[in-house]
């Protein structure tokens, strides 16, 4: 059975981010059933959207459809009056590409999309903050096929919505960045830099380093606060919060940990309320697109086989850069949580470093971190793919502790030069000893982990 036909409609759908055409192809290669993305207009990720031209996006739709997979278009920004004509034109253009759904947040845009392109199903963005049966019912009556639930939704409430509206699909986020505010309803960036989060230009002020200062009321001067711990207290309730500052770095008072629900896939799917699992991250790396799809594809497939390899899912996701992980609110209510914030750092390195990304030909790779002749690197291959061991003049593929490895005897560049080592920043592709599956990666464990 082919990879793309092995997942039936009865199985939960795995939805991955597609920040550009390459990430779209990588996510599908590593096991996603569908991807979501858009061009820069009216999307909540305008930075990612700028990497997608209308032509590239159309190519991505055709590519996904050739594999029997789906593409959903993000039109989930909140438009101004002055943008409504442009919005209508944008909807027409995106509909002409024949995507499988529009992801929309505003009720007025839902209605407009239904008028302009009634043949395109509507998925309601998480920005609409659906948490209950009443709101879900309103959007269902408007013609919405699927709701992407607010991240604050509990599994109990998801089951209640499904009970009342069995034909309404429910999609939840299972991995990626979490917002300090209620499902992205934040104005910090707008106030501090004029970049409006709900129109796709959030500056991520919640991730910044902040330092403590006190105001001298005598002369109205700001004075650096020398203490490393600072407390704020509510005089009525007695609730006290501690802010810690790392010397030379600062503190991260709003910084949320990243969502990771890989340990709860069985509980989520046992509920029979969830139709799709969604991964956040259109602006993240190609490696992130591949590894998150790989880990959650394995978790979903294992569930339907009655298996669980939670150590594998966790170890793979830990190879990614992250802010620490939390299981969010689908299992526990927000007031029950005390570990959702990371006050130490905006982002941490993962347990592995990516050394190279293999291109679509499978014969060349771009260096992302130092590769030296004689050093072995682990191979990460797309879903269902494998390579044979072998040796030649350029290098070898061998197996070590059940893991396929690649070693270069020397580094041969596309421009004909031969090197003993290549470093990140070198834009010359390096020749692989053997052809690998397109979009494979070479990686090594980080020294700090070793």
Q: Is the pLDDT assigned to residue 47 strictly greater than 60? A: no
Give SS3 for 80: coil
**Does position 2 have pLDDT exceeding 50, yes or no?**
no
Instruction: Give CA–CA dist 449/447, Å, rounded.
Output: 5
pLDDT at residue 183, as a whole number: 66
Q: What is the DSSP letter of 64?
A: H
Let me know if 195 is exposed, middle or buried by CB neighbors in 10 A (0-12, 13-18, 19+): middle
Instruction: Check residue 7 and report its DSSP letter.
Output: S
Q: Which run of H or E residues covers position 110?
A: helix 107-116
Kind of pairing between the strands at 441-445 and 352-358? antiparallel
**pLDDT attached to residue 206:** 67
| Residue 6 reports pLDDT greater than 60 | no
Distance CA 384, CA 253 (A): 42
Per-residue confidence (pLDDT) for residue 5, from 0 to 100: 36
pLDDT higher than threshold 70 for residue 361: yes
At 235-260, the pLDDT tens digits run 776 766 666 666 655 666 677 788 99
- d(CA 137, CA 122) in angstroms, rounded, equals 14
pLDDT tens profile 137-164: 999 999 999 999 988 899 999 999 999 9
Confirm whether 13-181+256-326 and 352-445 share one CATH topology. Answer: no
The pLDDT of residue 397 is: 98
Residue 135 tokens, joined: 């709101």
In the block, which residue shows the tokens 């699909």?
A: 169
Domain boundaries, the chain: 13-181+256-326, 211-251, 352-445
Q: Which two tokens stand for residue 88?
A: 């209508």
Which structure tokens are listed for 128?
């609409």
CATH value of 352-445 in 2.40.30, 1.10.10, 2.60.40, 1.10.3470: 2.40.30
Return the CATH class of domain 13-181+256-326. alpha beta
Is 256 or 98 the better-scoring residue by pLDDT? 98
Q: ∠179-280-315 over CA atoms, to 5°?
A: 105
Backbone torsions φ then ψ of 436, nearest 5 degrees: -110, 160
The answer on pLDDT for 394 being more than 80 is yes
307-360 pLDDT, tens digit per residue, is: 999 999 999 999 999 888 888 888 876 555 556 666 556 667 789 999 999 999
Q: What DSSP assignment string belongs to 82-100?
A: GGHHHHHHHHHHHHHT--S
pLDDT at 130 over 90: yes
pLDDT, mean of residues 173-200: 71
Confidence of residue 30 (pLDDT cuts 50, 70, 90): very high
Mean pLDDT of 190-197: 67
Q: What is the mean pLDDT of the chain?
A: 86
Please check the confidence at residue 72 and state whether its pLDDT lies above 90: yes
Residues 413 and 428 sit within 8 Å (Cβ to Cβ) = yes
CA dist., res. 252 & res. 245, Å (int): 8
In this structure, of 68-72, 210-214, 298-302, 320-324, the range with the lowest mean pLDDT score is 210-214
What would the two tokens of residue 67 be? 């594999």
Using CA atoms in the order 354, 299, 158, 163, what is the torsion angle rounded to 10 degrees? 150
């Amino acid at each position: 059975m082919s990879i793309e036909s092995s997942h039936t409609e009865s199985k939960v759908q795995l939805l991955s981010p597609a920040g550009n055409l390459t990430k779209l192809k990588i996510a599908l290669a590593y096991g996603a059933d569908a991807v979501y993305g858009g061009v820069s207009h009216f999307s909540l990720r305008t930075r990612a959207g700028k990497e997608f031209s209308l032509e590239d996006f159309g190519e991505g739709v055709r590519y996904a459809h050739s594999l029997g997979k789906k593409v959903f278009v993000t039109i989930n920004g909140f438009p101004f009056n002055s943008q409504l004509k442009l919005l209508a034109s944008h909807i027409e253009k995106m509909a002409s590409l024949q995507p499988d759904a529009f992801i929309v947040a505003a009720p007025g845009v839902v209605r407009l999309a239904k008028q302009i392109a009634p043949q395109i199903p509507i998925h309601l963005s998480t920005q609409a903050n659906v948490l209950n049966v009443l709101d879900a019912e309103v959007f269902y009556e408007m013609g919405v096929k699927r709701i992407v639930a607010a991240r604050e939704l509990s599994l109990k409430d998801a089951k209640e919505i499904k009970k009342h509206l069995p034909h309404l699909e429910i999609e939840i986020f299972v991995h990626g960045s979490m917002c300090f505010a209620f499902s992205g309803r934040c104005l910090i960036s707008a106030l501090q830099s004029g970049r409006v989060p709900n129109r796709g230009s959030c500056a991520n002020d919640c991730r910044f380093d902040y330092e403590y200062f006190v105001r001298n009321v005598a002369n109205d001067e700001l004075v650096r606060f020398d203490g490393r711990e600072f407390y704020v207290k509510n005089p009525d309730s007695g609730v006290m919060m501690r802010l810690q500052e790392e010397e030379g770095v600062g503190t991260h008072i709003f910084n949320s940990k990243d969502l990771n629900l890989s340990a709860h896939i069985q509980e989520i799917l046992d509920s029979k309320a969830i139709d799709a699992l969604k991964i956040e991250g259109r602006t993240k790396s190609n490696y992130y697109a591949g590894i998150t799809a790989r880990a959650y594809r394995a978790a979903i497939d294992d569930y339907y086989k009655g298996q669980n390899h939670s150590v594998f899912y966790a170890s793979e996701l830990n190879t990614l850069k992250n802010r620490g992980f939390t299981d969010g609110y689908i299992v526990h209510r927000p007031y029950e949580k005390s570990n959702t914030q990371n006050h130490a750092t905006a982002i941490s390195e993962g347990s592995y470093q990516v050394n190279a990304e293999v291109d679509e030909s499978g014969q060349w790779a771009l260096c992302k971190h130092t590769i030296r002749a004689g050093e072995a690197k682990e191979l990460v291959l797309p879903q269902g793919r494998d390579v044979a061991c072998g040796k030649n003049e350029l290098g070898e593929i061998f197996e070590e502790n059940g893991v396929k490895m690649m070693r270069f005897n020397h580094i041969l560049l596309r421009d004909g030069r031969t090197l003993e080592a290549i470093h990140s920043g070198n834009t010359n592709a390096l020749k692989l000893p053997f052809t690998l599956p397109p979009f494979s990666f070479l990686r090594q464990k980080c020294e700090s982990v070793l």
